[in-house]
Structure 1
């Protein structure tokens, strides 16, 4: 029988036929796809014709259908619906794929042809987009080690393979710790918890096959538990389990893995002639240098820490008033911050949450995209990889634009966090193809599913990434959609969060789950008035993580990353009751792969732009100003990586932004 992963997909919009694919199909499909791709690459390298943009660069841009289909399906289910078989396959695939793609950049014959096209670029009649693709292709070969020879070349390939294996182990260890831990609750342990948390805990207990409510390490469950539980002992137990992910000893401990990853990254950078991995990694980003990143982070750290210290004093006094002496601890902060928010803003999340129904917030995402960009969303009845998934066809003026898939609920088989990926990216070469885009989140199930305000912000954030993919309009897939600098990729996602805070959006879509009534005006005013509440805490936990990431990669690799982490936090004066958002053993952004390594700062770099970019709408005709929306699509959402990101932003805004808009938006300056 023909392997469905290697076949043409006769399905609506060529969506993967998940109902025809089994785990047994992945390994043989990958082996065949890799073999076919090697033949394709060899034909490009050994082509007897003189090297040209068409027979080298465009040939490399020509998709390998079997490989693309196999990897898109596999990595979708490996992240969002894992099982032991898929975890074993991932451990096997990671070094195979690393070796395969390393062989391509290490192919001296192929690189000679790439270099020849690069050397004659001034005489070629290339479009701006073609020149960009040529530059990026040449640069990727150089940075991949194509110019290395002898032992250095061999060692580079070994490092890449080992890093791929370690990243997979880090991810699977973290998933195991998050999946296996839970805390069973008696009825008396539910004291102080609003009904939505109780319902989520009972649903989690059913998922764990436990006869009662449980707290798991899903962020959408543990965070509200820490906010509302009056049982300080249980909060401490839950918090410590959350903080200890990846550092529990035994086979799932990630500390030694993190140390080896840092050592290998430093060696990789030095083989390529860089002083540090941070110098290597940041060269291609907007920031360019570690110094520029540190400057941004420290410009924000000072005001954020000052605010957090003030807040800590208030929360400590509240705790002492409850008869609890001693220092405010990390498991106390969210609890007393929630009590303070209710007292100062009269905003009770238990009362707010029924107005933030998942389905209504999805409608809000769609409605904003319609008003801004003319997109329409119609449900699709197609087979997907899990019963929780939903799909929509995206059209504009009656023409097909994309398929959008949403996978919103937490489950034990899904890694933590939220992300956007494309099972197929937009491109026009060698023939037009439209994107298939997925948003994956970890919201608590319920009937109906209710979101916290942070959950709703996450929904809008990931949909902003999806818009970047769906509205892409470039020729070549390698620069399509979110294929941009890491510190630019978060601009569309963080910018889209602002539309959640547009009053008319909340008035229309924040309706009560039982009564259907719109959010009362006084509650709406409180929600918007509290938008910068506890921002000292949120900023400190984030910036601390970014500074530790930068320090890990800026100099020699630390022998003990945990000691280095403690040193950095000590130097910046980390408040006692706040911890890093992502401590080293569970810092998947940095250690699950190279994506955000030396780049966790990029959320804040992008936030500098998103705060300024939304101001452009406010300065014009308002949040739905048609001219600004068109400029956003033309210069950022549709352009992918076809131009330098700084040039794209200036084309949209007329200038580059400063940090003041960010500080003002976070309420950290008057």
Structure 2
């Protein structure tokens, strides 16, 4: 196949999407896009209208999207392919530069501005006005109105930030692959679930070592931090993870500081006081001051409950150890689990026998069928790695799109969970979606068994998925992932609520393997979980708020502080943290959300809590009427999911809830009242 990344028709053949095609396919995409743009660029001003300018611009770069979305996916899930990382790095800066140049082009801007200013004369419909406004804002924030010298600076900074972000990601991926803790005596792993110990044994064998090897992937790190009775091993694993990308060849320290500096300079060039004001201008929070006020407001409401949670942890450690030692960072998950077992007799590992990958996916599919009449049909197609599954998705026999599920960690795959698109929807073209997680992989029996937290993770990512699939997306700008970033987590986070509903547990248990039902979670176990639902909720709330606070402080105040970055973070988040008597590094060098890209969670980690306020408020209506109530489900589908980015986020929420959001529902649900 001459140009494999241009594949349009499914099933895609990923086996031919190799590194040697990346540069040639991206160059061809540039050529096609430039031809499209030239037609707009040379159009006389008196001929300009919505269709031949705004819509034409919207579709002009689809060839580049088609190619790069596939390349970007594979860079995250198959970065171990020969030559792939080098080829990706060779094009990512060029792509950023190309896109930046489009929205900095004063001639294109002049034509868009004409439609924007004369929208009434063009008799535009509401969705056409919306697209025009979004396009106009893209040019304004892209620097199209800047003088030539400032514009060149702006473009150069944007390109450099993109390159540094990719270096950040590459360093993290490589460092995680090479970092592990060696254990020879199995007794040191006392308390760790046997499935995790089996993974450690397998990891050691793959590394041609004796004993056990604990890599720093999330399932392994969490297993040790939560269950390992050996305090010294917990400390060693914590300190090893804490050093990831902090020293040596893969140190991200300079990348972080350089990105922060460049972002601030970009903001000043474009006429904003801070990068937060620049990034948040078109989001629900509107500016950095409002975002900080939001974080600090939730902090104040949470503080006294957080102090009680910390006190309980401290008391429990004293009871268990017989000493009055202060809490250490490697103690928290361990003693949280002990308290949970003491107070609620709840062992999270008990859920794994009921939650395997097949029946959890079945449960998700059944939930979406009951809520939105959506069905998933599995098909055998070529995939990029063993274990990846593919489904076509329909609603009332109408094709909505397709999705690949890549659920388990492996070498060359970046950490975390996320949802992506590899074919952009527009008009009648439906999306090709991907759900990527790094959940506990299959054990010796070949079956993956999930914790309840992991079930939540999968429901969360599938919330993004259903948003993408149900959004009508007449234009690419109207796709679900284009909504305001402090709104984008509403459809995902709200789905986590269904993982606490007994009706959903019962659905999952009815999935059949070899003709036998998997088994419904017993009422006694479910009741234990529900009693423990608000357990340590203030601690978990404060942990997320600390990340939001750190993010905003880094972008608003770090550079002018003159302090080492870890000292600065420790000081500004002091009231959000447990007062440990040992020093540790911050997580800033591995914080993908903040440094992967500019238009993501940079200055916007608060978005998780913002969206949680939205979803708690929205879910109250489901609880009042019923979690599968047709009227409420239809209203959420039409007002929130179906519109995608075709209406502003605040309008979408008001249309569903009938009013602006209120944080009371979140605090009530978490027992913090």
Give the TM bin, normalised by the shorter chain.
Answer: over 0.9
* Corresponding residue of 1:137: 135
Give the secondary structure class of the aligned counterpart of 2:308.
Answer: helix
* Corresponding residue of 1:333: 332
Find out whether 1:441 has 2:437 as its counterpart. Answer: yes
What is the deviation of 1:110? 1.3
Of 553-562 and 491-500, more deviation after overlay is shown by 553-562
Pair 636,207 (structure 1): closer, same or farther in 2 beyond 3 Å = farther
Q: TM-score, normalised by structure 1?
A: 0.94
Find out whether 1:38 has 2:34 as its counterpart. Answer: yes
What is the deviation of 1:478? 1.5
* Corresponding residue of 1:586: 590
What is the deviation of 1:515? 8.7
* Corresponding residue of 2:622: 617
Find out whether 1:466 has 2:465 as its counterpart. Answer: yes
Whether contact under 8 Å (1:375, 1:395) holds in the other structure is yes
* Partners of 1:214 and 1:137 in 2: CA distance: 51
* Partners of 1:516 and 1:45 in 2: CA distance: 61
* Corresponding residue of 1:608: 613
* Partners of 2:452 and 2:591 in 1: CA distance: 24
* Partners of 1:209 and 1:147 in 2: CA distance: 59
Find out whether 1:562 has 2:566 as its counterpart. Answer: yes
* Corresponding residue of 1:264: 262
Deviations 1:599-624 (A, max 9, x none): 0000100000100111111122x100
Of 199-208 and 268-277, more deviation after overlay is shown by 199-208
* Partners of 1:58 and 1:579 in 2: CA distance: 55
* Partners of 1:303 and 1:324 in 2: CA distance: 32
**1:146-185 → structure 2 map (5 Å cutoff):** 146-185=144-183
Whether contact under 8 Å (1:90, 1:168) holds in the other structure is no
* Corresponding residue of 2:645: 641
Pair 577,176 (structure 1): closer, same or farther in 2 beyond 3 Å = farther
* Partners of 2:471 and 2:528 in 1: CA distance: 37
Whether contact under 8 Å (2:75, 2:88) holds in the other structure is yes
* Partners of 2:586 and 2:197 in 1: CA distance: 26
* Partners of 1:219 and 1:545 in 2: CA distance: 18
* Partners of 1:379 and 1:573 in 2: CA distance: 45
**1:21-170 → structure 2 map (5 Å cutoff):** 21-48=17-44, 50-64=47-61, 66-83=63-80, 85-170=83-168
Whether contact under 8 Å (1:507, 1:518) holds in the other structure is yes
Pair 500,134 (structure 1): closer, same or farther in 2 beyond 3 Å = same
Find out whether 1:657 has 2:654 as its counterpart. Answer: no
* Partners of 1:223 and 1:533 in 2: CA distance: 18
* Corresponding residue of 1:598: 603
* Partners of 2:250 and 2:529 in 1: CA distance: 40
* Corresponding residue of 2:375: 376
Q: TM-score, normalised by structure 2?
A: 0.94
**1:124-523 → structure 2 map (5 Å cutoff):** 124-186=122-184, 187-247=186-246, 249-321=247-319, 322-428=321-427, 432-446=428-442, 447-510=446-509, 516-523=518-525
Pair 296,326 (structure 1): closer, same or farther in 2 beyond 3 Å = same
Whether contact under 8 Å (2:376, 2:391) holds in the other structure is yes
What is the deviation of 1:156? 0.6
What is the deviation of 1:395? 1.3
Pair 530,453 (structure 1): closer, same or farther in 2 beyond 3 Å = same
What is the deviation of 1:569? 1.8
What is the deviation of 1:522? 0.6
Give the secondary structure class of the aligned counterpart of 1:599.
Answer: coil
Whether contact under 8 Å (1:18, 1:384) holds in the other structure is yes
Pair 580,547 (structure 1): closer, same or farther in 2 beyond 3 Å = farther
Pair 491,324 (structure 1): closer, same or farther in 2 beyond 3 Å = same
Of 264-273 and 191-200, more deviation after overlay is shown by 191-200
What is the deviation of 1:158? 1.0
* Partners of 1:364 and 1:525 in 2: CA distance: 20
Pair 452,650 (structure 1): closer, same or farther in 2 beyond 3 Å = same
Pair 153,244 (structure 1): closer, same or farther in 2 beyond 3 Å = same
What is the deviation of 1:579? 10
Give the secondary structure class of the aligned counterpart of 1:557.
Answer: helix
Give the secondary structure class of the aligned counterpart of 1:394.
Answer: strand
* Partners of 2:120 and 2:418 in 1: CA distance: 40
What is the deviation of 1:393? 1.0
Give the secondary structure class of the aligned counterpart of 1:331.
Answer: coil
* Partners of 2:583 and 2:447 in 1: CA distance: 33
* Partners of 1:64 and 1:209 in 2: CA distance: 47
Of 306-315 and 522-531, more deviation after overlay is shown by 306-315
Whether contact under 8 Å (1:541, 1:578) holds in the other structure is no
* Partners of 2:453 and 2:582 in 1: CA distance: 18
Pair 452,304 (structure 1): closer, same or farther in 2 beyond 3 Å = farther
* Partners of 1:496 and 1:577 in 2: CA distance: 38
What is the deviation of 1:19? 2.5
Whether contact under 8 Å (1:102, 1:144) holds in the other structure is yes
Of 418-427 and 513-522, more deviation after overlay is shown by 513-522
Deviations 1:370-419 (A, max 9, x none): 00000111111100111121011111222222111100001121111100
* Partners of 2:51 and 2:313 in 1: CA distance: 64
Whether contact under 8 Å (1:541, 1:579) holds in the other structure is no
* Partners of 2:323 and 2:510 in 1: CA distance: 39
User: What are the ranges of 5 or more consecutive residues in structure 2 without an aligned counterpart?
Assistant: none
User: What are the ranges of 5 or more consecutive residues in structure 1 without an aligned counterpart?
Assistant: none
